[in-house]
Amino acid sequence: MIVILLGAPGSGKGTQSKALAALYGFSHLSTGDIFRAEIAQKTELGKKASEYVKSGKLVPDAVVTEMVAGKLEPGRRYLLDGFPRNVEQARSLDGLLERSGSSVDRVILLELPQAEALKRLTSRRVCSKCGAVYNTLTRPPKVEGRCDDCEGELAQREDDSEATAKKRWMVFEDLTSPLIAYYKAEGVFARVDASQEPEAVTAALSGLVDGGGAGR
Ligand code: AMP
């Protein structure tokens, strides 16, 4: 089964992907997480992606698609988070899946107003040691600046600054939102209100992943 979570930056794709992966045994494939790890390790791929990621622009399609092609194993259940990001990538994904006899089963949009998404992004903090995610407004750590789990230092992602977060939102509007029409046409599209509490969003997503509800 292949499930895609679509949504503007800040809509909770990462958080919800982790929850669904744990509940349903999906492999969680986050292209953003992969790029950040490659950048931190200073690999060739990381060097290619670095400037794009830091400035909130999309990494070129060929680079992303080749990377994803190398990760997808036939027959496994995947939850794709952050890929595809535009229609070109969606077409490439369809081609990749077709070759292994599968297709996209469900595409779910996490809907959130821009102001709320920007608020969430600029107040997000990530543990630099274990990757745990906090929010200074809604989920602060017990000790300011320190991870509850491993005491690692909490930092703001470079692309979560207000200016870059706004740019990422515009990239989403321009390039990623056309995917809604693309997947509606394929009959696999559904949407969920991402302004609810995280647990309520997970419950709504679970209903869609477990069956039913596509096409709206
Ligand atoms: P994310 O963690 O999904 O918000 O992604 C962070 C950044 O990684 C994006 O702003 C892009 O620079 C890059 N990125 C992640 N996924 C893709 C993709 N599918 N296509 C192009 N760039 C991507």
Please state, in angstroms and rounded to a whole number, the distance separating the CA atoms of residues 114 and 61. 25
Is 9 close to ligand 1, i.e. is its CB under 6 Å away?
Answer: yes
Percentage of the chain modeled with pLDDT above 70: 97
Query: How much is the average pLDDT of 76-96?
Result: 96
* Domain architecture of the chain: domains with CATH: 2-113+169-209 (3.40.50.300)
pLDDT at 133 over 70: yes
Is 64 close to ligand 1, i.e. is its CB under 6 Å away?
Answer: yes
Is 29 close to ligand 1, i.e. is its CB under 6 Å away?
Answer: no
Taking alpha carbons only, the member of 89, 152, 95, 91 closest to residue 125 is: 152
Mean pLDDT for the chain overall? 94
pTM summary value: 0.92
pLDDT at 215 over 80: no
Please state, in angstroms and rounded to a whole number, the distance separating the CA atoms of residues 83 and 72. 12
Nearest atom (ligand 1) to Cα of 31: 16
> Residue 33: which pLDDT band, with cuts at 50, 70 and 90?
very high
